[in-house]
Amino acid sequence: MSTGRSFFALDRDEARARITELGGRPFHADVIRSEAIDRRNLDYAEMSSLSRELRSRLATELPLYSAEEVARSRTSDGTQKLLLRFPDGAAVETVHMPSRRRGRGATLCVSSQVGCSVGCPFCASGKAGLVRNLTHDEIFEQFLLGQALGPLARSVVMGIGEPLLNYEALRRALETVRSEIGIGARKITVSTVGFPTRLNRIARENPPFQLAISLHSPDDEQRARLVPAMAGIPIEEILSAGDNWFATTGREVTYEYVLLGGENDSEDHAERLARRLQNRRATINLIPYNPIPDDEFARPAADAANRFHDTLVQKGLVATVRWSRGAEADAACGQLRIQASPQHR
């Protein structure tokens, strides 16, 4: 009988036991893993080293993965966005961005939760609040389905959800990504709004990823409006947690700053941000706001974004402006939703 769990929800021992129950031999579990992960073959029917009988039993009793691809969109630069739906109807998006340089492998942007409870008013992902956490295998499946679109060189956990609020599942999924897909610690970036207590605890484990902290403002009062779930947590505490991360792991922190036209993109903001970050070894990614429907914010003017950047650089900081890819397919930062938009239906 089907247990309702998919192959990748099981750990190695559980998978071996389950395959034995279904009439196979324990090592067949390793064959299936290797077919799916190393050969990017996601169809039991194509796993010719398994007997026909076992293949047909697996097909009915033990789905390889649980997500269903319900929509796919593509932009002119080759970025593809998958809308994945799980058996309970919950859906997330995963974005595959090929490198601009040939033969380099793609970057995969994955989601960590269905929806988000943090409530940033400029972000589409959190508009409906949190629906539920993803399980470790649902996070890992995004890599399986993502690499089916082309080999992966990097990953960013910058899709839907706040990774530190679903950390155990994320940690387990990333461990499999590191050891089995082979994307190393320096090639995976987890972006978070930066809960300091959690960050300090996680830093002690020296987990296999780079850290990006979404800051968005040099002012506590403004940040509380832009990142509502963090109201009451002073920016200085978040920066100290970032310093502690660097001291403990030896990996520099990236600070992300969404540039909202007329809100946080003035030169004065840039100067105050520079003062906050002075004497810290960190990179600042400036992300011009990608408009989402029914929103109060405006895209920054290109010269305002450039001026902001130049002010930071003049103050000795390392900064880049990231005009987003994937915007045509609503696949850019902050445009990811948990429901199919009308053009996908």
Q: Which residues are at the interface with ligand SF4 (CB under 6 A)?
A: 116, 118-120, 123, 125-126, 161-162, 193
Say how many residues make up the chain: 345
Query: Is-contact 297 334, C-beta < 8 A?
Result: no
- What residues make contact with ligand SAH under the rule CB under 6 A? 122-123, 158, 162, 191-193, 214, 256, 258, 287, 289-290, 292, 333-334
In the complex, minimum distance from the CB of residue 332 to ligand SAH, in angstroms, rounded to a whole number: 7
Q: Closer CB to ligand SAH, residue 41 or residue 266?
A: 266
Q: Closer CB to ligand SAH, residue 19 or residue 157?
A: 157
Catalytic residue among 109, 116, 120, 333: 333
292 binds, among ligand SF4, ligand SAH, none (CB under 5 to 8 A by kind): ligand SAH
256 binds, among ligand SF4, ligand SAH, none (CB under 5 to 8 A by kind): ligand SAH
Q: Which residue is nearest to ligand SAH (CB)?
A: 334
**116 annotated active-site:** no
- Residues 281, 165: Cα–Cα separation, whole Å: 26
Structure tokens at 266: 């003035």
- Residues 158, 258: Cα–Cα separation, whole Å: 13
Q: Closer CB to ligand SAH, residue 181 or residue 193?
A: 193
Q: Closer CB to ligand SAH, residue 15 or residue 260?
A: 260
In the complex, minimum distance from the CB of residue 288 to ligand SF4, in angstroms, rounded to a whole number: 15
C-alpha dist (Å) from residue 29 to 3, 35, 320: 16, 10, 45
* Half-sphere exposure at residue 336, Cβ-oriented, CA atoms within 13 angstroms: 30
Q: Alpha helix (H) ranges present in 206-337?
A: 220-226, 235-249, 267-277, 302-314
Catalytic residue among 93, 162, 256, 263: 93
**123 annotated active-site:** no
Q: Which residue is nearest to ligand SF4 (CB)?
A: 126
C-alpha dist (Å) from residue 214 to 69, 143, 162, 227, 279: 29, 23, 11, 9, 19
Query: Is-contact 153 105, C-beta < 8 A?
Result: yes
Which residues form the catalytic set?
93, 333
